[in-house]
């Protein structure tokens, strides 16, 4: 009942159109943007990312000195050794005298559980203002390195948006797939993943019908990786992200005012998906987050 009432209010807001911007709707978008900003700027946010270091099988000497196999941008000259076993296990042994912790505990060595196999957060190795954990992508493992003192964080120039436009809060028809379809989604690493798609959102804009295909990463929302005619110009070229609640009574709200840039817009060390061909809209979506003017190399 509560969800149906909330959805009814969504329909009412969408119906107001650009001519009569609803104050509560504008406030909700502003709140979402403020939360987005705080998350991005937080000590664990994407602005702290300073490295994506791929592990080779066997021994990997890690530290900030140039004689290491993996040279970090922060931390002690010789942090220790990360060993990638033939069985896929990852272990760390710290150099003598190094001040570091594993999940908050001071130890000499430890097994590192990566993000693909952890039941919660992956094992965190912390040293000074920096830290890393192991990620797995396409069968390979890497250290995702963060630093709360990163220049991308201290030099962050803020977020830019298109003006809030209620006409871009679209009520789409939800067409479920049974069984789910499968689409290929590429990444900035050049890999291609096959993802299950539970259905499609169909909507009309300026007399043209458009379709978008989401993936479902949890039980309460849908995740769209999209591109449009603004991509590479006013907005980030690779894609933007849009997360929505699940459909209610065959309807799905696509609020493009909440479209955000992927982490790759802020750092070269993220592993972001690219918009699949199915989600490249032949229209200018002049809503949501614009290209980050701080950029990165």
Taking 90 as the threshold, does the pLDDT of residue 188 lie above it?
no
H or E element, residue 195? strand 192-205
Query: pLDDT for 84-113, tens place per residue?
Result: 999 999 999 999 999 999 999 999 999 999
Q: Which residues pair with 133 in a beta bridge?
A: 144
CATH class of 46-147: mainly beta
Return the percentage of the chain with pLDDT > 70, whole number.
92
Q: Which residue has the higher pLDDT, 19 or 175?
A: 175
Q: Which residue has the higher pLDDT, 14 or 279?
A: 279
pLDDT at 5: 31
30-37 average pLDDT score: 98
Taking 50 as the threshold, does the pLDDT of residue 153 lie above it?
yes
Query: pLDDT for 202-251, tens place per residue?
Result: 999 999 999 999 999 999 999 999 999 999 999 999 999 999 999 999 99
Q: Given strand 49-54, what is the order of strands in its sheet?
A: 49-54, 140-147, 130-137, 125-127, 101-102
| Residue 126: closest CA among 196, 167, 76, 170 | 76
Mean model confidence pLDDT for the chain: 92
pLDDT at 21: 61
Q: How confident is the model at residue 190 (pLDDT cuts 50, 70, 90)?
A: confident
69-89 average pLDDT score: 97
125-131 average pLDDT score: 98
Q: Encode 169-185: b = buried (16+ Cβ within 10 Å), e = exposed.
A: bbbbbbeeeeeeeebeb
Return the percentage of the chain with pLDDT > 90, whole number.
89
Q: Cα(196)–Cα(176) distance, rounded to whole angstroms?
A: 12
Phi and psi for 179 in degrees, rounded to 5? Answer: -80, 170
Q: CA-based angle 111:115:120, to the nearest 5? A: 85
18-28 average pLDDT score: 77
The bridge status of strand 90-94 relative to strand 109-111 is antiparallel
Q: Cα(189)–Cα(95) distance, rounded to whole angstroms?
A: 32
- The domain limits of the chain are 2-43+158-279, 46-147
């Amino acid at each position: 009942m509560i969800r149906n009432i909330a959805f009814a209010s969504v329909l009412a807001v969408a119906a107001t159109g650009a001519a009569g911007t609803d104050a509560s709707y504008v406030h909700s978008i502003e709140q979402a943007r403020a939360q987005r900003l705080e998350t991005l700027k937080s000590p664990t946010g994407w602005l702290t990312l300073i490295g994506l270091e791929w592990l080779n099988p066997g021994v990997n000497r890690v530290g900030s000195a140039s004689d290491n196999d993996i040279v970090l941008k922060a931390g002690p000259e010789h942090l220790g050794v990360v060993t990638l076993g033939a069985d896929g296990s990852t272990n760390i042994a710290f150099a003598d005298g190094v001040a570091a912790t594993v999940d908050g505990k001071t130890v000499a060595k430890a097994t590192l559980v990566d993000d693909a196999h952890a039941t919660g957060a992956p094992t965190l190795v912390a040293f000074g203002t920096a830290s890393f954990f192991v990620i797995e992508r396409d069968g390979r493992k890497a250290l995702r390195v963060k630093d709360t003192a990163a220049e991308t964080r201290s030099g962050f120039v803020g977020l830019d948006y298109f003006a809030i436009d209620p006409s871009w809060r679209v009520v789409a028809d939800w067409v479920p797939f049974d069984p789910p379809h499968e689409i290929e989604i590429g990444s900035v690493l050049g890999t291609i993943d096959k993802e299950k798609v539970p259905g499609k959102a169909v909507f009309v804009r300026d007399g043209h019908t458009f379709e978008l295909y989401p993936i479902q990463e949890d039980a309460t929302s849908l995740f769209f990786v999209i591109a449009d005619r603004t991509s590479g110009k006013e907005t980030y070229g690779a894609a933007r992200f849009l997360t929505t609640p699940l459909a209610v009574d065959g309807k799905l709200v696509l609020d493009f005012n909440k479209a955000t840039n992927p982490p790759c817009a802020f750092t070269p060390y993220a592993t972001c998906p690219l918009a699949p061909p199915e989600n490249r809209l032949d229209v200018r979506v002049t809503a949501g987050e614009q290209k980050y003017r701080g950029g990165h190399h």
